[in-house]
Amino acid sequence: MMNKIIILNGPNLNLLGEREKDKYGKNTLKDIEISCKEFAKKNNFEVSLFQSNIEGELVDAIQKAREGFNGLVINAGGYTHTSVAIHDALKILKIPVIELHITNIYNREEFRHKSLISKIASGIICGFGAEGYIMALEAMNNKYLK
Ligand code: CA2
């Protein structure tokens, strides 16, 4: 069966490409979805994307990923820095988790320097803009998918 990766995006990332383009770039989430699906197709795996502004919906999506997925990429947005619930849900997973951020959270405000996700992530990609999503898929494919 074909390998499947899920990419989760947290609060406000639905606004990508519409506001704060200087910080988060000009790509919309739809543009990112199209390029991720293109990359996955070329590399013979499947990818699905889910975005929510609601913490509990992200927890539900993480729990659902226990069945039928081979890896998870998460940009938890602002919840990265606050959500014990997302941390706990990710900790239960047996598949590799890549933490992703569009910006370099370590050269921004102090409150972004702490991530509750990093401790359970297999790896972290941050600061490379929308390209980071493809980098995460590439890492997932090269390192974890058989
Ligand atoms: O750099 C990232 O990807 C972040 O996860 C983005 C979050 C931020 O809270 C994290 O510290 C770092 C914020 C996402 C906000 O996205 C917007 C997109 C367009 C316009 C306004 C916000």
- Catalytic residues, by residue number, are 24, 101
Task: Express each pLDDT in 93-142 by its tens digit.
Answer: 999 999 999 999 999 999 999 999 999 999 999 999 999 999 999 999 99
Summarize pLDDT for 50-98 with one digit per residue, the tens: 999 999 999 999 999 999 999 999 999 999 999 999 999 999 999 999 9
What is the distance in A from the centroid of ligand 1 to the CA of 6?
Answer: 19
Domain count, the chain: 1
CATH code, domain with 32: 3.40.50.9100
**pLDDT reading at 32 higher than 90:** yes
Strand order in the sheet with 4-9: 46-51, 4-9, 71-75, 97-101, 123-126
Look at residue 146 and tell me whether its pLDDT is greater than 90.
no
Q: Which of 20, 23, 12 is nearest to 107 (CA)?
A: 23
Q: For residue 1, what pLDDT is reported?
A: 86
The Cα–Cα gap between 92 and 19 comes to 35
Structural domain span for residue 20: 4-145
CB of 17 sitting under 6 A from ligand 1 = no
